[in-house]
Amino acid sequence: MPELPEVETVREGLSRWVTSRRIATVEVRHPRAVRRYLPGAEHFAAVLAGRTILDARRRGKYLWLPLDSGDAIVGHLGMSGQLLVRPTEAADETHLRIRFTFDDGGTDLRFVDQRTFGGLAVSEGGATLPAEIAHIARDPMDPDFSDTDFVAATRRRRTEVKRALLDQTLISGVGNIYADEALWRARLHGARPTEALTGPAITRLLGHVRDVLGEAIKEGGTSFDALYVNVNGESGYFDRELNVYGREGLPCRRCGTPIRREAFMNRSSFSCPRCQPRPRTAARPTR
């Protein structure tokens, strides 16, 4: 699933290509693409026609496009969603779900989604911050993110440190890939109890999270297949810089020990057995 760097790369593309443009028509090709918008596909199309997109914003892994009506288009890419800018005359993509045309006659905006886990919706009055995503924490690249609050909340959480990094009510935008990469840089195993970490240790980890996310944004995110691309259909290149994720059995770039893979929440965690030893005591859940 796309994480913060991938979604931020898409947001930057949308900001360049659709901001200040007036929507002419909206065509919903598959109802699942707007399933979270309860009024339905016809209303989705009707309420957006004639509206001007003012900006492109992001909260964690969610995108929203504020409109001149005070409403917003809210989007989540899911596992395979793509927001593509395409010439109007370009052939339809196989998994085209929604098409936006604009009254300037320029490029279309197309939502393409092979697995249809993603989707778009209209948030009434959501231009500043859609109510549907207001519960999601700020991400560490947000200038209003509070390091002090994050450190204190993490130590109170009494969980494993990797689970804390993936908790979108604590810190948003960090997923499995970048959590593993940050933990490797911090020399921490993901099962380390958060209550056993000092404030300075959590602060250092947060710094590594920011470094990894920032470097990934510069590379356009991480693409393991054709499902994640930017608005121009181009893949990201950060997969070439990964130190642990997906590198089971390969030598640690720091000490040479083969990278291990462990089961984690129906997914996999990757770490170095030498640089990131397992904790002797497990985290105690908060009661």
Q: Which residues are annotated as a binding site for DNA?
A: 95, 115, 157
AA identity, residue 219: E
Q: Which of 2, 5, 66, 193 is catalytic?
A: 2
Among this protein's residues, is 3 annotated catalytic?
Answer: yes
Tokens describing residue 145: 């993110």
Neighbours of 105 (CB within 10 A): 8
Q: Using CA atoms, how far apart are residues 67 and 54, in angstroms rounded to an integer?
A: 5
Distance (Å) of CA 68 to CA 71, 206, 249: 7, 36, 53
Annotated catalytic, 27? no
Tokens describing residue 237: 């290149």
Instruction: Choose the catalytic residue: 16, 22, 156, 267.
Output: 267
| The one catalytic residue among 11, 58, 61, 86 | 61
| Token pair 């893949």 in the structure block, residue | 235
Q: What is the SS3 assignment for 63?
A: strand
Q: At 255, phi and psi to the nearest 5?
A: -125, -10
The sign one gets for the Cα dihedral 280, 270, 211, 209 is negative
Number of other residues whose CB lies within 10 A of the CB of residue 128: 11
SS3 48: helix
- Residues listed for the chain: 287
User: Would you call 215 a catalytic residue per the annotation?
Assistant: no
Contact 66, 54 (CB under 8 A): yes
Among all residues, which ones are annotated catalytic?
2-3, 61, 267
